[in-house]
A and B are shown apart, each in its own frame.
Chain A
Amino acid sequence: MEKIILLLSITSLFAGLTSSAQTKISGQVYSTEGNQTLAGVTVLVKGSHTGTITDALGKFSIAAKRGDTLVLTFLGYNKKEISADDKNVLHITLSATINDLNSVVVVGYGSQKKSDVTGAISSISTKALQEVPVTNITQMLQGRAAGMDVVAQGNKPGDGMSVRIRGRRSFNAGNDPLYVVDGIPITGGFNDINPSDIESIEVLKDASATAIYGSRGANGVIIVSTKRGKLGKTTVSYNSYYGVSHILKYPDIMNGAEFAEYKRESRRAVINPATGKPQYDDSDPEADQKLFEPVELESIAQGRSTNYPKMMIHNGHSQNHDLSVSGGSENTKFNVSLGYFNDVGIIPGQDFTRYTSRINIDQKISNRFTIGMSTLGSYSERNGKDVNPYGSGADFGALTENPLGIPYDDKGNLIFHPTSDGLRSNPLADIVPGAVINREKRFRLLSNVFGEANILNGLKFRMNFSPDLTEDRTGNFRGRYTNARNLGDPSASNSEYFTFAYTWENILTYKKVISQKHSIDITGLYSVQNSQEESSGIDVASLPVESLEYYNLGAASIINGVSSSYEKWSILSYMARINYVFDNRFLLTLTGRADGSSKFARGKHWGFFPSAALAWNIINEKFMVNNSLFSNLKFRISYGETGNEGIPPYQTDGLLTRTKYDFDGAAAFGYSPSSIRNNNLRWETTTTLNAGVDFSILNNRISGSLEVYQSKTTDLLLPMLLPITSGYNSILSNVGSKRNRGIEVSLSTINISSGNDNGFEWSTDLNLFTNKEEILELSQGKVDDVGNLRFIGYPSVVYYDYVKTGIWQLGQEKEAEKYSSIVGGIKVKDVNGNGVIDPNDRQILGTDVPKLIGGMTHRFKYKGVDLSVVTFARFGSMISSPIYGAFRFLSGRVNQYNVNYWTKNNPTNAFPEPNSSLETPLFGSTLQYFDGSFVKVRNISLGYTFPAHLASKIRAQSLRVYISVQNPFVFSPYTSKYNGMDPEDPTLSTPPSRLFLGGINVKF
């Protein structure tokens, strides 16, 4: 069979080229990267007209004599000459030319040469992936690709990132991209994957690239490929680092004396109506005695001040160790790795530890069959994810603790209530080991088993089956001496999620090159995705003994709640794709995918998502042959539809909610209607038009691409708001539409190059992009939904509030009162000029969407030394800092940032006068909005690779050592002008830190 095919291909395609010869030389051609066979390589016998090209498996056979020289040429690869020696079958590898046009890009359900790609795809190179030591995949993505906005969701060990590709489309169906690991779509749990196992990441952005993921492609697709074994000698690699983290900076809060004065001022502001005197009367010599309690008076007298935020922070540390063994023979290729990662945060009790193992095997059974598997096993333990002893609002936290209180008594024991304020327990009590436990343990087993058969020449069938098991348990405990219990008996809870999901895919591919000019690549798919989640939990209080933690919930005398749940959804899919390449010049991709999702109403299960893309490789046109400027030039245009089904299941059924009641103590649970049936619920659809150009000039010194796009999302899965007289607040429906438009620029430049491997080289990667997000219609048409802060023409997150214009000054009493404020209080603008301040005076102050986002990486290399600097920036967004808008801000009860507040002697317009009769200042929410622009240097890394002869002394193939600093600098108005800590995560529940580390990469 094989021979026949071979013969056919040779005779049909190259009959004209063959000539009579004495000997047959045959061989197979591979690429050096990825070890893939190369089809279509021209093979010539030097000095003759004899020639052939390789078939779909990279094989060729040519009439030549022993000793002849064969010349192999292939677009995008370096020309190679090889002597036809006495081996019968030659094994030849070609290396890609520097402009990596031929580097292979992983696309959905397959891979393509970069030059054949028609869609908007950003690749993140292995080099970039290894540059910054990170905890999970999402962190690898920050600042790396145009169109991808990646923002930290917190600073705790194990915290992930929010990843948005080309803005937000959806309100309710989620905006997270689809992650595809080794071909299998996964949901969540990115902390389970060891970043060191990742070979490459591709980001699919336009409909041409994502439509083959149909209903799950609307938010972009991130394709992650893990390292697989390669043909050759077995290598052992060991990568390791250890680092120490410090808080980036301490916040400037009031010290004891400042706090005392602020507390006094908060009482000066309040006049006692009966006496007409202020609550704090400066003329009264006993005023301090009346206001402060003994411990405060003592602190004032001694000039003593407790800095709780400082006392709570210690140095963290972070370490990572990976050991991997990789290799392969003709038939078996393998990559096995073990990983250990441990990150201890700067707040005691917050840490993340992960153990991973990965086994990737490819086994060739015969010429026709290959089987293989990828298996990830991961176990992790995370502490302190949901606890915020540093600061979490007015009632608790080190940031707002009264600095006049003292944390320890004479004997060094913690004082549980440092002051008489009953709500404010000592924040240091919460970090006593064992007092507060919040521990998540996670186990994941994600496998992909595949079998592949070459049915006919170019026709392949592949079946993937991927079971994905996750077990996630969280235990919580709060002892008696914690803020949560405040001397009540201990409470505890545990919860467990067990998820079993699987993906089953059947993929048929056919590749054919017809008369050298027409290349066709067809892919067909049938797949099933299914997920079942079971959960249970119990929440109790009044445990008799602290040491029980959450391991004996039955001992508790109060049961707050018991729960369990079951959730299941499925997606069935059919997909077909045709890639057609004409003469390496014109490229066409047509895709259609039909998805059926169980989440939608009967009869509305199925959605069809087509896309089409065209590309023109101008560089391959004849008229470009003599151009010396461009080494690559390609135009692309694509149009298509993708869907979103990311809502929880069971939204189409009218559901009931459990209610609680009792009759004289006897339980009387009930069920009340909570959602209306929606028999019309269907897919949310995004239609995207994308145009792009890829270029490379000056002998590849500058290369890059430019993309312009517009996407429109219709049938938004949005609650249609109902008048509540119906008994319902809303019904999830397909209403409204949204639009995203943007421009993306990616550039890679080699700024200085000496031309040889050991010389000085400076290169830069830069990406810049902007995305404009607009709501076009909501459930009531082009009408703002003020209640949910959704406005036509604006992004889905806006800051909508009164406009602060200053502080009411002395002498403006009448006016202040007229505008619902007081002297020393915040002055807001009467926008509609109706003489009173009412909700109609609120304005859209800004949005969280930046005007410009960018990432820049510089790499320097000289001899064995390498240096890289990774930066990330966002400009023009607005952030809301909850610290400034907090409950009890400037109320004279809890501590604050040391702000410039108004007093009779300090007529500032910055912050209002502290006032003990106001829990928050009048219009206090106007104080929390800031410019969120920043430039962050994420990482600076300096490495040295030992010369081979030195490395070989420890029997190593290669050896590199490096030092690196993470988060060295932040430049932003929020941190420099407003005492902010982190413009990326202004909540401050855990402050940002800076990590110094040293590491080693060694390969045997």
Chain B
Amino acid sequence: MNKLSFLAIATCFAISSCSKLLNEDVRSQITDDYISTEEGFENAVNAGYSFLKAFYGGDEYGASITVFGTDLFTNGFDGGIKYLNTYDANLNPRNAACNAIWNSLYMAINTCNAAINRAPGIGGMDENLKNVRVAECRFLRAEYYFLLVQLFGPVPLKLQETRGIDREATRAPLQAVYDSIIEDLNDAVQTLPVEASDYGRATKPAAEHLLAKVYLTKASSAAKQQDDYDNAAKYAENVINNYNFKLLDDYSKIFEEGAGEKNSEVIWSVQNSKDFLTVGLGNTLHLYFIMKYDDLPGLKRDIQNGRPYARFKPTVFTLQQLFDRQHDGRFEKIFKRVFYCNNPGTFKNNHGETITLNTGDTAIYLSDRKLTADELKRSDSKYSVYNPEEQTERVFPVLNKFLDPERPDMNEMRGSRDFLAMRLSETYLIAAEALMMTGQKDKAVKYINIVRRRAAKTGHTDAETTNNKLAMEITPDQLNIDFILDERGRELLGELTRWFDLVRTGKLIERVKKYNPVAAANIKPYHILRPIPQDQIDRSSTEMEQNEGY
């Protein structure tokens, strides 16, 4: 019986100590209280930056929604979101691209809100540093709302961290969204330093550049106010005049991979590195502009030429009309039209000729004009020549700005290149556009010519170069909104701004109909806004309107 009572006592003892087991023991995860500490707050700010990749190159959505479906690019052969180019029935409230972008932007905003809201309660932190970090988050929040408002129009305005179940969502007036963006950016302009403690953080000039663009966009929106263009010009000129930014002499140097990405005309860039522990999604823009080269005679896939996703094909307008090929050097610098053999052998080329290729020989030449029969005959016996009319959704000139041959292997998608989100040449163009709209064409032309002179083709002699530079200059009577759009097209080709530029200037429908035959058939006036994701509408407990037409 003694044994039994011992057992009974032991059991009772054990039982009473067990109820503690029901308290959770969270060790390998971190709960949200952490953000209220100084360290956690810094981490939340870092997290705010990480969402930039979701739009700028982390996947193909941010690029697709801005690059094709415009006058400059149409769809290539591959890919499942061609509806953003074709404007067909698949561009509906359930489309994956708009959903993904909407989702990641609002998650980004909630992260920024968390940092901004918790900041006042964090003790022991250097107040100045705290204010800078809050201003960084407000800069980021403004950036995210600016993307949203350009894509979707009036959107729900959430400025507080979500702390419980929140099912309410109503679309704020356009004016309120812009007011919030401008308020955030004003704070950022006032608080942020000229140079950040860490390269890549938001700075005062970056905030000014963004603010200039916000005013420029607002100026032609339903929320426009009288002084919007003046403000746009003011902030753009601040960036141009008050800091040490400077255009590089050579346009092609801007996109030099590696150290070259950090150059004097970069105002602010989205950061990526070669370290896979920090790169996350990385910059995948290197994939999308590459034509399907790897099944052509003499070629196989390699790191140098890249992984061919064949998503964005330049339109005929871009290839044949946009550039003044005689004086403008940019076309040659940004398009890759020759592929060299890396898979030697004897092949039939696209014209049925037998060709023998050794490593390093020209394998493919994408001609920018129709070659004469004689010219064709001469080159055709050596390699494959694609005349403009033979260029297809699979075979087209490749925009080389984002190519990333420093990836560790040819199929690696996570690129390490920074995305140059704000460049000084764009600031010039913003200033020029704003000045032109307020009637100050002379001043506008001055800025445009700075950009154009730099772009001039390098001649065989200095004299020729000088001559080219002169030829690039324009006069005030040549300046109009179409010229600005063309110039932005030339200077910023493929840099994730085109769709916004066309919408802002009210030229989307007109120019798409004119220059993008695939999209022309379907595009309608309502396409200046994207559909609000159906999930958002379905899940909101409050009534939420869809954009017209969808």
Residues of A within 8 A of B (CB): 272-275, 279, 286, 289-290, 293-294, 417, 419-423, 453, 455, 461, 463, 485-489, 504, 506, 526, 528, 530, 541-542, 558-562, 564-568, 570, 572, 596-599, 602, 605, 649-650, 652-656, 659-673, 676-677, 720-729, 731, 733, 780, 786-787, 820, 836-839, 917, 919-920
Contacts and interface: CB of A to CB of B under 8 A. Distances in A.
Nearest to A286: B352
B102 interface: yes
A488 B79 contact: no
6 contacts: A293-B297, A661-B49, A666-B198, A673-B162, A720-B165, A820-B89
Interface string B43-58: 1111111110100000
Contact of A670 (B43, B165, B200, B411): B43
Contact of A661 (B21, B27, B271): B271
Interface in B164-180: 164-169
Given A670-B46, A670-B49, A820 B18 contact: no
A839 B531 CA distance: 14
Contacts of A453: 4, 7
Nearest to A272: B392
Contacts of A597: 22
B30 A655 contact: yes
Given A566-B27, A720-B165, A722-B166, A669 B276 contact: no
A645 B78 CA distance: 45
B344 to A, nearest CB: 12
Given A422-B301, A453-B4, A572-B21, 19 more contacts: A274-B388, A289-B352, A293-B297, A420-B296, A526-B15, A559-B277, A598-B25, A650-B29, A659-B46, A659-B47, A662-B273, A665-B274, A666-B198, A668-B200, A670-B48, A672-B47, A721-B538, A726-B166, A839-B94
Interface stretch (B103-111, B119-127, B186-194, B329-337): B103-111
Interface stretch (B32-40, B249-257, B489-497): B32-40
Contacts, number: 296
Contacts of B350: 290
B539 A723 contact: yes
B43 A839 contact: no
A801 B45 CA distance: 42
A542 B275 CA distance: 13
Contact of B24 (A422, A652, A654, A780): A652
Nearest to A920: B80
B280 A673 contact: no
A917 B301 contact: no
A455 B7 CA distance: 12
Contacts of A489: 408-409
Given A542-B408, A673-B161, A676-B162, A661 B111 contact: no
Q: Of residues A489, A564, A663, A836, which shows the largest number of chain B Cβ atoms within 10 Å of its Cβ?
A: A663
B410 A667 contact: no
Name, among B77, B79, B296, the residue most crowded by chain A CB atoms within 10 Å (CB to CB): B77
B47 A671 contact: yes
Interface size for chain B: under 10, 10 to 19, 20 to 34, or 35 or more residues? 35 or more
Nearest to A893: B295
A668 B198 contact: yes
B458 interface: no
B37 to A, nearest CB: 11
B114 interface: yes
B199 A663 contact: yes
A667 to B, nearest CB: 5
Interface in B494-550: 517, 533-536, 538-540, 544
B162 A919 contact: no
Contact of A488 (B27, B274, B409): B409
A673 B110 contact: yes
Given A653-B31, A917-B77, A727 B111 contact: yes
Chain B contact residues, majority secondary structure: loop
Contacts of B48: 670, 672
Contact of A566 (B28, B78, B199): B28
Interface in B112-140: 113-114
A564 B533 CA distance: 36
Nearest to A820: B89
Nearest to B165: A731
A769 B208 CA distance: 71
A836 B91 CA distance: 13
B278 A662 contact: yes
Contact of B536 (A273, A664, A725, A786): A725
B109 A596 contact: no
Nearest to A601: B24
Contacts of B294: 420-422
A727 B158 contact: yes
Contact of A724 (B24, B106, B411): B106
Interface in B73-87: 77-80
Contacts of B358: none
A662 B275 contact: yes
B389 interface: yes
Given A272-B392, A488-B411, A560-B276, A724 B107 contact: yes
Interface string B247-287: 00000000000000010000000011111111110000000
B466 interface: no
Contacts of A672: 44, 47-48, 50-51, 107, 110-111, 114
Contact of A562 (B156, B167, B277): B277
Contacts of A558: 276, 408
B220 interface: no
A274 B106 contact: no
Contacts of B278: 660-662, 667-669
Contacts of A725: 106, 155-156, 158, 169, 536, 540
Contacts of B348: 286, 289-290
Contacts of A564: 28
Given A666-B198, A724-B536, A420 B167 contact: no
Nearest to B388: A274
Given A294-B347, A598-B23, A670-B49, A665 B273 contact: yes
| Centre residue among A294, A664, A727 by max chain B CB count within 10 A | A727
Contacts of B412: 488
A698 B7 CA distance: 53
Given A605-B22, A722-B165, A541 B536 contact: no
Interface in B145-165: 155-156, 158, 161-165
Contacts of A422: 294-295, 300-301, 307-308, 410
Contacts of B110: 672-673, 726-728
Interface string B375-406: 00000000000001110110000000000000
Contacts of B534: 786-787
A572 B19 contact: yes
A724 B102 contact: yes
Nearest to A656: B30
Contacts of B88: 820
A850 to B, nearest CB: 30
B345 interface: yes
B500 to A, nearest CB: 22
Nearest to A529: B21
A528 B343 contact: no
B26 interface: yes
Nearest to B198: A663
A539 to B, nearest CB: 9
The listed residue with most A CB atoms (<10 A of its CB), out of B34, B276, B388, B540, is: B276
B349 to A, nearest CB: 8
B165 A676 contact: yes
B346 interface: yes
Given A558-B408, A722-B539, A671 B43 contact: yes
A274 B198 CA distance: 52
Most A C-beta atoms less than 10 A away, residue of B77, B156, B277: B277
A644 B538 CA distance: 29
The 8 closest A-B pairs by CB, nearest first: A727-B110, A488-B409, A422-B301, A670-B46, A670-B47, A274-B389, A286-B352, A660-B280
